[in-house]
Amino acid sequence: MQRIPTRIHGMLDYALGILLLASPYLFGFADGGAAEWVPTLVGIVIIVQSLMTDYERGIARILPMPVHLGMDAVAGVFLAASPWLFGFAEQVWLPHLLLGLVAAGIAATTRIVPDDRAADSTPLVRMASMAETLGKPPADHPRSSDLRPATALHAGKAENADQLRRAIDSGATRDKVAVVDPAAAPLGTDAESGAPHDEEGLKLARSQGQSSAPPPS
């Protein structure tokens, strides 16, 4: 259903706002009553919020697009129902109804993500942004033989403890360095533990252990 690009929606917003401001004079109900000020008020709201919306046609770009579309839908429904809400249906009702339905329909069929921000929502971009936040090095960053960063990186970009933990675990901060720990070697006997940790030493320790073992009964 969301087929209208946000840049097209912005153009329609301004066109609809201007049409609403001019409608009392175009359709002959500029009598100073509710029939006139309701579309005028809705037109002003549409133009002002368009100037403040975070999309291609906005200037301030502080109003999120979903909020903008919600306000458009509410304004459209309000405009369409205004002839009966304010009691001027006997005077005029068709322009208010049609323009209100148009405003609500455009809001319901417009994309939520602005076209110039759509690339930021792809999975690859989100992964790259996460890597940058965690302080990980880029792909072309120099690395050591164990594939960790060749130089220490500062993890100050981490915003919370979980992100800092991930930065440390990834090796980005150089807090973890790959080393060989002899105490963690799976040696079966004390003789093996005390012997040199090479193939000849292990063979010698095993042979000595077997020769000193008591014969089976």
Q: Average pLDDT for consecutive 10-residue bins of the chain (217 residues)?
A: 88 97 96 96 97 93 94 97 96 97 96 75 50 49 54 54 69 60 58 59 69 56
Q: d(Cα 69, Cα 160) in Å, to the nearest integer? A: 33
Looking at residue 178, its pLDDT comes to 58
Exposed (0-12), middle (13-18) or buried (19+): which is 93, by Cβ within 10 Å? middle
pTM: 0.55
Looking at residue 114, its pLDDT comes to 87
Looking at residue 115, its pLDDT comes to 77
Backbone angles phi, psi at 121, to 5 degrees: -100, 0
Looking at residue 133, its pLDDT comes to 47
Looking at residue 142, its pLDDT comes to 55
Q: d(Cα 99, Cα 23) in Å, to the nearest integer? A: 10
